[in-house]
Structures are given as structure tokens and as C-alpha cells.
Amino acid sequence: MEDSDNIRLLLEKYVEGKCSAEEIAEVIAYFKREGNHDEFPDVSFVTSTSGAVPRLDAGKNELIFRQVLAEAGTIERRRAKRRSHRKYMVIAATLLVVISCGSVFLKNYLLPVGTIPEAANEITLELGDGKVRVIETASSGQVRNASGKVVGQQENNRISYSEKKSNTGEMVYNTIRVPYGKRFDVKLSDGTVVYLNSGTSLKYPEYFPERGKRKVELTGEAFFEVAEDKERPFIVHTEGVNVKVFGTRFNVMAYPEDNLADVVLVEGSVGMYEGRYVEEQATILTPGHKGSFSKSDKETDVSLVETSVYTSWIAGGLVFRHMTFENMMKKLERQYGVQITIKNKTLAGEEFSASFEREPIEEVLEYFRITYGVRYETEGQHIIIN
């Protein structure tokens, strides 16, 4: 049997839940043999090899190739810190994550673990008069303001305000708060859509003024699809830094406990400026770049990035690239509404790369246990990394 045929059969065997870790390591070893020593084969080879695997939609083969290649590079750079026999197992586990696409993630290798309870906190909407209402994401209906007037509509996980401009000049602000472990969307009265990540609050007016700026205040992380309006620039205020736009798509992450406030531009153009400076002194971002504002030294650094890494959370995913274990655990805390304590300080500073889609927290933890030997225990919603 040709090697490529054997590899194809092994991939099919995995999807059926029958492939062992050793067999997947064989797939990786085959890729290494066919390439130039330490290089993997090109995308065309990977796609032709995995093309017969069922349940992989268009684009998944490319994703498999890129993920395996990225992880292999990370592992090669860290091999002095880890035992060499674990290298292929790490790559194999990464391949498992990507091929599974959330449906059979480490299906045959999970050990029984206790179920971690979900966070009980609710999404709330604070109205202009200070009254707070709980938002039930499983329901739909009219949205009313403090006076009882209908100002929008809720459809499950999104509130959409009626699209119109304020005629009175009186600004009435609402604040929506999303706890850890949950997400929510808001379509503002100007047509701007805001995707709110876990642990985020957004203060916004029921209706924007007919003239002047459209201003909102953000704490946490959100992705903005700003409705274009050249006469009324859109301003996002965060702790320390502001973002000015006219019509664009970008992600803002500004959690109060983090020293950095990050803005990642997907489309259009934005300007970042510190609160005490004027807009004309803004740092301008172009698509594909990230601006990181340091709250401590008041400086902004700009770098070229892969924007999908920073926006994957919108679809429920998590993508980590060369991120310290400590920062990864912070993101898991927000995503799943849990508390994580890291007792292993050496591990906290190590860098990892990994991708997850909609896996439960138990499976994410098992990935780190199997792949990197990370030991943990759970006490309700408290996870302890030993």
C-alpha cells in the first residue's frame, strides 16, 4: 500500500473515532519525511492527502495545514525545555483539535472529569433612570425605555434599537453588562452592531444626536461594525485610550485588570489617542494592524497581526498564538465564567499556541493535560493548576 493511501486511511479512521495517538503521530512523521527535513509539505499535498476525510468542509484542509505548521514551529523552538519524545504527540494533539472541528475533540483520549458548573450571573440592562432589567437570551420581545416607550426589539442574543436620530437633544444612556461566560450583541440606533465578549459592559445612548459625535463607553472586549456617517464620527471611550472611526470594523479589548488596551483593525481606518490628548494626535491604524496602548507608560505600539486570531471569539472560538499560559488562563476565565489559580509559576510564563472552537472547559483543560502534562483539579467553578 502506498504511504499516502495509508495516511488517508488513518485520517478517515480518526474521524470515525478509531485512530490511536501513535497512528496520528505516524501521520505527522510521514509529513516530516516527505518534506525537506524539518519542513512540512505544501498545502496541495495536505489537501490531496486529507481530501477524502468525511465531514471536512471547504477550507478545513487549509486550516489543518496552517495549524499543524504553526504548532510545529512553536514546538521546535521550545524543544530544549521539553522532552523530545513528546514533540510528535504535541503536534498530533493539535491535529486532533483541528480535524475534530469541535465535534470529536480528543474523543478517545479524555479521562473522566467532574463537570464544572456554569456561571449563574445574568446579562443585565441598566436604563437611563437607574433601573436594572435582566435579559433572558432565550426570549424575544419589545425593548422599552425607562418611560415605557418601545425603543427596539430583542431577538434572543441581540437587542436592536430603532434606527433614528434624536430630535430633542436630550441624551439618555443605557448600560448593558455581560458577565463572564456569556456574550451578547447590540445593534445601536445608527445601525452600528456591537458584539460584546464575556466580562464586558457598554454604555450607549438610546439615540445618537443629530449632529456631532456618536459616543459610547466600553469596558472589556467588543467587536464593532460601525455604520458609516462622515458627518458624525464614532468614538469608543475606554480606560486610558479612545478610538475614533467613521465607518469600519475593528476589535477593542480593554479590560480594567489588563495593562494593555488593544485595538485590532479589520477594515477601514481608526485613530487611537489617549484621553488627555486631542484627536489630531491620534495613532492611525490601517487594516491588519494592532495598536496596543500601555496604561502604565502611556505609549502605543503598532504591529502587523493576523486579525482572525483576535476576532475568533465572535463565533465562539478561542485562538492563542505564542501567548503565555497565564494570559491564556485569563481568557478562559472570561470565556467560561470560572476562576483559575496557577500555582506553577514557571508554567505561567511559558508560551503556547492552540485553537479551540466550542469545546466545554473540561475538554480544553484535558487538551493541556494530555498535550503538555498540565496537572489540574477542580472545586466547583474554581480550577487549580498545580
> How confident is the model over 258-297, as pLDDT tens digits?
999 999 999 999 999 887 666 667 899 999 999 999 989 8
- What would the CATH number be for the domain defined by 318-385? 3.55.50.30
What SS3 class is residue 203? strand
Q: Which residues contact 16 (CB under 8 A, 6 or more apart)?
A: none
Output the average pLDDT for the chain. 77
Q: Which residue has the cell 519524545?
A: 85
Burial of 268 (C-beta count, 10 Å sphere; 0-12/13-18/19+): middle
The residue type of 361 is I
Percent share of the chain, pLDDT over 70 = 67
Q: Which residues contact 18 (CB under 8 A, 6 or more apart)?
A: 108
Of 51, 52, 93, nearest in space to 74 by CA: 93
Burial of 71 (C-beta count, 10 Å sphere; 0-12/13-18/19+): buried
Give the pLDDT band (50/70/90) at residue 28.
Answer: low
**Domain 123-309 coded CATH 1.10.4080.10:** no
The C-alpha cell that represents 131 in the structure block: 433601573
Percent share of the chain, pLDDT over 90 = 41
Half-sphere exposure for 104 (CA within 13 Å, toward CB): 16
pLDDT at 39 (0 to 100): 40
The C-alpha cell that represents 287 in the structure block: 487594516
Question: Are 61 and 47 spatial neighbours (Cβ–Cβ below 8 Å)?
Answer: yes
Q: What share of the chain is helix, strand, coil (3-state, %, to 5)?
A: 30, 30, 40
Of 242, 255, 251, nearest in space to 215 by CA: 242
pLDDT at 147 (0 to 100): 83
Give the pLDDT band (50/70/90) at residue 370.
Answer: confident
Question: Are 262 and 292 spatial neighbours (Cβ–Cβ below 8 Å)?
Answer: yes
Measured between alpha carbons, how far is 89 from 371 in angstroms, rounded to an integer? 7
> Phi and psi for 129 in degrees, rounded to 5?
-90, 5
Measured between alpha carbons, how far is 313 from 319 in angstroms, rounded to an integer? 8
